[in-house]
Amino acid sequence: MINPYFLLSGKIQAYLLAVFFGISLVLMFILSDIGKVLIVKEKGIPCGIINIEMPFNQQNATSIVKVWNDRNVTETAVKQTHLDFLYLLFYPATLSLACVLLDNSTAGLTSIRAGILLSWGVLFCIPLDACENFLILKMLSGNCHSPIPEFTTLVAALKFFLIAISLMYLLTGFVYFLIKRL
């Protein structure tokens, strides 16, 4: 099976992974710092922007947007969502490249090329996250009517699932190499 980076040498793939990982970390810290004001635990918003990524229903979405409007931080949520459009270009590529490199290093261990499958699958986070961001911006502008919150939750859940299985694959590979060195 062909990976998304088959035209690039292993050395270039490793270099890109380092660059993308660095950019992803910087953007993740910036997004986290910006989003601190969106956490309002006493009003049922313990996870900030993640709460609007997965509001589940119209009532929750409306409540979150109202709290943020009352606290004058809705513009911060909009700013964070706009910056996420940049972030969504880097974190999936980082995970995808890491899956490819791990798969290449374990290719002789199994006939199942899970890393290659995951390298393609996690790239699907890009359109999922973009769709999620557009829907979040709609909700932040006051359009919290069904089916927008439900669809946002579905898209975000799919994105988080792809991220989680990619991270589990990478963690498993990391543990394998640690055990192998012992």
Per-residue pLDDT reduced to its tens digit, 44-67: 999 999 999 999 999 999 999 999
Residue 116 amino acid letter: I
**Which residue is listed with tokens 């973009």?**
130
Judged on CB neighbours under 10 Å (0-12, 13-18, 19+), 105 is middle
**Which residue is listed with tokens 């706009």?**
82
Q: What number is the average pLDDT over the span 26-39?
A: 98
Residue 102 amino acid letter: L
At residue 108 the predicted structure's pLDDT band, cuts being 50, 70 and 90, is low
Q: How many helices (H) and strands (E) does the chain have?
A: 7, 0
- Please state the pTM of the whole predicted model: 0.95
Cα(72)–Cα(26) distance, integer angstroms: 26
DSSP one-letter code for 168: H
What is the reported pLDDT for 170?
96
Q: What percentage of residues in the chain have a pLDDT greater than 90?
A: 90
Q: Hey, where are the domains in the chain?
A: 10-181
What is the reported pLDDT for 107?
66
What's the mean pLDDT when you consider all of the chain? 95
103 vs 95, which has greater pLDDT?
Answer: 95
From the list 127, 132, 138, the residue with the least C-alpha distance to 155 is: 132
Residue 33 amino acid letter: D
What is the reported pLDDT for 134?
98
